[in-house]
Amino acid sequence: MLASRPLAAGLAAACAAAALLALAPPAYAQATLLSGYGGTLGYGTECLYPNDDGSSAVVDLLPAFPSGLLFFGAVQSSAYVNTNGNITFSGPVSTFTPAAFPIAAQPMIAPYWGDVDIRNTGGVCMGGAGVTCSPCTPCLNPSENGVWWYLEPGLMVVTWDRVGYYSCHNNLRMAFQLVLTAAGCGGAGDFDVEFRYNTCEWETGDASGGTGGFGGTEAQAGFDAGNLVDFVAIPGSMSPGIAATLCSSSNVGLTGVWQFEVRSGAVICPDAGMPCDTGNAGVCAGGRTNCVGMGGLECVQDVSPTSEQCDALDNDCNGMVDDGAPCPGTEVCAGGNCVTPCSEFFCGPGLVCDVSGLCIESSCAGVTCPAGERCDGGACVGACDGVICPFGQECRAGSCIDVCAGLTCDSCTVCEDGACVSRCEYTPCPAGETCQADGLCLEDACAGVVPCAAGFHCVGGACVDDCLGAVCPGGQTCVAGGCVPIPAGSDAGAGGPDAAVAPGDSGAGTSSDGGTGTGAPRPIYRPGCGCRTAGSQSAPPAGLLGLALVALLVVALRRPPRTPPRPR
């Protein structure tokens, strides 16, 4: 299961929500609704008669999906469009107050299961309650407050267009869509699901304990297999604020858009690679979601604990920042920098004695930095500021990591830049690139080249060192395509924050020029101390600007990531 079973709102929650009713929540208008399918509004020619708690007649899915939709162990060949923000497969559903998933014998896909009321047309409350059309009055082509659906081969779009809530209220609206698309890969019956939210202004009907569209039992969004076991509930369902969450958030980085894949009958992990909080302390707190089994989700931390450094971070993840961080000689760690205690004589050029009796940069006097940052040259800098990671890596919490390491993608996708994207067999490569066996695109000039050795990548038909242009975090150097700690007692560690290592010294982290091992010297920094900014006591190494320009060139050569295909 992707989410824990949400609990129905209790009395305390309802009372708290009611107390906030006087504060009108903002209206959200985010994702554009898909159109161009005919009819008066472009949402199709089929729509529900004005009603409350009604449903469509049975809708044949086979013209759009000849193999049916394989949904949690059962092949569905027909569906019902229900007024209350969902479609069901075993029969029409008139229930207006959502119940926490899972529910027995009620397979459902619900972009917004709430008490929708579409009887108010032009200020007049008309239509019937609980009407199931079999047959029924034909579509009256409402100019608003309507429910529409459209089918074509490989596609079904259901639109709830600016719908109101019970009882006949139109002062607040919801506008959202359910889009079902035949999968571009996988087996028979596999399909993709997209929820699109354009306007999100109410959460509850009057008969569900709500007042003015809020309070009581809020709406729910997700999937239910109808077997009391398998379900997916979007976080925040049946809780205050669910409308705002759906319109202003996303599981794919597109505001108001939520995408899912149904493979072999189950909703698979939709958002592998999304940022998450592991619940751990320090640098171990940040993580990425990863798929576990069928539909499971876990948060895997990006950075593992290391020995403490003087960098304003909790490197060993024990809940304390810079505790026991080593500094050279008589220096002590303060504010993420190794500094010298004030003497009775002076602190030295460019330094002042602060209230704690430590010599700090004069430009940092009176500067207070946020957690995880330190003052350098009068400015607060983070652990990843100025860092240029080796090719294929990103800086997280002061460490360069491979954002695809350990990330699990399904058989239809492959990890690229930390996200699961459609394999190039199913989404064609851009012009000038060739689809590879690993599912990723590669520039044509590199397609026929002998694979590069570990720590190298192909650019323009030649193997280039992954370390080229890299600027590792403080106290680290790039070796074999990765940033590693500078060995204690090495010449690099003894030369001070701006000491550069002689070219060709492999232990010093020199940048590679494509295999010769004679690239430009790389700057090495004292553990706990970052690159000095212009105007501070120590100037940056002369070669740093050149390295930055080289890095920009390398970045420019890297292929931009492809975005996963979305239902049109």
453-488 pLDDT, tens digit per residue, is 999 999 999 999 999 999 998 888 999 999 998 887
Sign of CA dihedral 219, 222, 225, 229: negative
Q: What is the pLDDT of residues 99-135, one digit of tens each?
A: 988 887 889 999 999 999 999 987 888 765 555 544 4
pLDDT band at 39 (very low <50, low <70, confident <90, very high): very high
Closest CA to 239 of 516, 62, 8: 8
Q: Considering the chain, what is the average pLDDT of its residues?
A: 79
Instruction: Round to whole Å and give the CA distance between 102 and 414.
Output: 31
Please say whether the beta carbons of 140 and 116 come within 8 A.
no
Q: How far apart are CA 530 and CA 515, in angstroms?
A: 28
Strand (E) positions, 15-85?
28-29, 46-47, 51-52, 59-60, 69-71, 74-76, 78-82
Instruction: Look at residue 422 in the predicted model and tell me its pLDDT.
Output: 82
d(CA 193, CA 261): 6
Is the dihedral angle over the CA atoms 545, 548, 554, 557 positive or is it negative? negative
Distances (CA, A) of 167 to 118, 127, 146, 221: 9, 12, 15, 21
- Give the pLDDT score at 257: 93
Say if residue 363's pLDDT is above 80.
yes
Residue-level pLDDT at 427:
82
The pair of structure tokens assigned to 51 is 């009603």
Instruction: Answer for the pair 350, 538: CB distance below 8 angstroms, yes or no.
Output: no
Compute, in degrees rounded to 10, the torsion defined by CA atoms 188, 424, 31, 273.
100
Q: Per-residue pLDDT tens for 423-443? A: 898 888 999 999 998 899 999
| Region 519-533 average pLDDT | 29
pLDDT at 164 over 80: yes
| Bigger pLDDT: 508 vs 296 | 296
Which is nearest to 312 in space by CA: 283, 287, 353?
283
Measured in Å, how far apart are the chain's first and last C-alpha atoms? Answer: 28
For residue 194, pLDDT over 90 is answered with yes
Record the tokens describing residue 144, joined without a space. 């608003």
44-79: pLDDT as tens digits: 999 998 999 999 999 999 999 999 999 988 999 999
User: What's the burial of 136, exposed, middle or buried (CB within 10 Å: 0-12/13-18/19+)?
Assistant: middle
Closest CA to 561 of 400, 421, 412: 421
pLDDT in tens, 396-418: 988 999 988 877 777 788 888 88
Strand (E) positions, 340-473?
A: 351-353, 359-361, 373-376, 379-382, 394-396, 399-401, 413-416, 419-422, 433-435, 441-443, 456-459, 462-465
Does residue 175 register a pLDDT over 80? Answer: yes
Give whichever of 348-352, 448-452, 503-507 has the largest mean pLDDT. Answer: 348-352
> What pLDDT does 104 receive?
77
Flag whether pLDDT at 561 surpasses 90: no
Which is more confidently placed, 407 or 245?
245
User: pLDDT band for position 18 (50/70/90)?
Assistant: very low
R_g of the chain computed on alpha carbons: 29
Buried b (16+ CB within 10 A) or exposed e, 107-118: bbbbbbbbbbbb
Residue 11 pLDDT exceeds 70: no
Q: Residue 66: is the preceding peptide bond cis (ω within 30°)? A: no
Q: 527-559, pLDDT tens digit by residue?
A: 332 232 233 333 333 333 333 333 333 333 333
192: nearest Cα among 412, 44, 15 = 412
In the predicted model, is pLDDT for residue 495 greater than 50? no
Residue 17 or 380, more confident: 380
CB atoms within 10 A of CB 223: 26
pLDDT tens digit sequence for 318-338: 999 999 899 998 889 999 999
Share of the chain above pLDDT 70, in %: 77
In our burial notation (b when 16+ CB lie closer than 10 A, e otherwise), range 411-422 reads ebbbbbebbbbb
Q: Is pLDDT at 157 greater than 90 in this prediction?
A: yes
486-492: average pLDDT: 66
Are β-strands 120-121 and 108-113 bridged in parallel, bridged antiparallel, or unpaired?
unpaired
**CB count, 10 Å around CB of 318?**
14
pLDDT tens for residues 206-225? 999 999 999 999 999 999 98
